[in-house]
Structure 1
Amino acid sequence: MGFLVVKPTRVFCVYLACFLVTMLSLVSNGSCHAKLSSTFYDKACPNALSTIQSAVRTAISRERRMAGSLIRLHFHDCFVQGCDGSLLLEDTSSFTGERGAFQNSGSVRGFEVVDEVKSRVENVCPGVVSCADILAVAARDASVAVGGPTWKVKLGRRDSRTASKSQAESNIPRASDDLSVLISLFKRKGLNAKEMVALSGSHTIGQAQCITFRNRIYNETDIDAGFASTRRRGCPSNGGDANLAPIDLVTPNSFDNNYYKNLIKRKGLLKTDQVLFSGSSTNNFVTKYSNDQAAFYSDFAAAMVKMGDIDPLTGSSGEIRRRCKSIN
């Protein structure tokens, strides 16, 4: 008894080859990674965004400074392992988290607000919205709440099951970094010099601790003498490390372009602020934004969207945490 041999057609061979390539790709990646989308929760949790917005507005109405803190949380999260909510995790027996990193310890704040937002969202649709996405949406809503720009937040991130103090300390900028270091750190995350200057504009709101700017007001020369003298009143040469000062002394509670005007007048509070107006690669951006608030708003919004795309966990990677401070 013989066997019927069928010669495969060309179309079949092409289809088979494509199928094998797809399967090999899935195996090598471990999962199928979906793209982020601004409509990700439209069906799964249609009230997610309004719930987050309401909670953020309440928090900022209680304390205006919280707007800057929420934007900073998203930034510090994305620069370590990508935008995955890892910054929110407390230490465990298996890893030391990012909260204790030098750039975060005693400085990054707003965790209790994120916990409250998460609790409200869980009441609406449990196990659906990630902490990483809450950070991204809260940053946008915080900007709007203090008169800043808005943008469409891309969603669909999942939460990391781990965090890394060492990665935080090697990836997040320090207040003492010079321009070349800043450009290198942002470039490592796919962000160029223009986007770095635009994102730095978030310092138009918020405050900084004395320890982060003491050297600048006492030892640096590229600073307005009157401004330095004023800042010394609340930041002694010894002690008072945690004393606070507004980064933008003119309009500390409003999202505007005064931050850039201050830099041109040599009134940047942090070294990492003033160095933006000390190098040929960034001076033009500072000047542009100081003269054109609309351009600053537009570029800031675009840079925030791009930053939110840094290595997100999607598909079946990571998890949706029930509580932002701990893995499930």
Structure 2
Amino acid sequence: MPEGHSVHRIARQFAKNFVGHRVTASSPQGRFAAGAALLDGHTMVEAKAVGKQMFLRFDDDRWLRVHLGMYGAWDFAGDISTDATIRSASGRMGQTNQRGTDPTDDEGTDLDDVAGEDSVSSIGAPRRSRFRMAESESAGAEYETWPPEPVGQVRVRLLTDTAVADLRGPTACEVLDPPQVEAVLAKLGPDPLVDDLDEGERRFVETASRKPTPIGLLLMDQSVVSGIGNVYRAELLFRARLDPHTPGRAVPADVLRELWRDWVHLLDIGVRTGQMLTIDDLTGEALAQAMANRADRHWVYKREGLPCRICGTNIVLEEMGARKLYWCPTDQV
């Protein structure tokens, strides 16, 4: 499932290439025909993400709400220019640059992410090509006709004179009015890229500290904190050396505050680079390897049975909240 950084990157893509443009909306698959008819011919005026949900506002004050869920993805094509706030080098969106030790330096060399994670392998800007944005960003084939034919089961197509976005497989895709949007937002926990950081921290700590629920479940509860998915959950808990089974109300307030601040830190890296890079202070070849391959990017995620990078104990895999949880039974106690 796409985590918060991916959805923010998609929203920025819409803000850069669709906001201010009249949109032709359709449903090639047919399942969203009525909703598309409501949006067709209107100008997109705003694009924003909150946690794992994205909201596109049109000039008649209707909103398109999209939650990608487990299988959803947006495919873009056209004369696409990347958001300037998403680092670009050598014609790739999300390219993380390697000349220095900071993964957001302005100059660098090309790397390929062989794991396919929300990644450096994407698009030139601008050029006529297809590319996908979900949990991974991947380049596609060039095309010759405009607009390109829809590929697969496209729930909704948003088309301008120069760009097209095709949505496949979302969990939620609906047209809402402003009160309905507010009702959705009211159920979501704080998002570091949307809410005031101090207020967001206060809300997170206050909510989590009242719950008997294990902290490993609370971090995935979008009403407690927005945007954290399976990868960030495992990595945040390891970085805090926190047992995933600890009830929220048993976690010291200062540890909860540090969890929130670490989420602010990791989300910022994810949005700017397109990578869920959770190991700090990597330099040189180690940094290059981490940015090229997920296996070198994380402390515990997908490392079951492998020795902990700190203590050598084998990383454990279990199920928590119907999702896979990775953790170290020695360091996280």
TM-score bracket for this pair, using the shorter chain length: under 0.3
TM-score, normalization by structure 1: 0.26
Larger RCO (CA under 8 A, 6+ residues apart): 1
Question: Greater share of helix residues, 1 or 2?
Answer: 1
Which of the pair has more CA radius of gyration?
1
TM-score, normalization by structure 2: 0.26
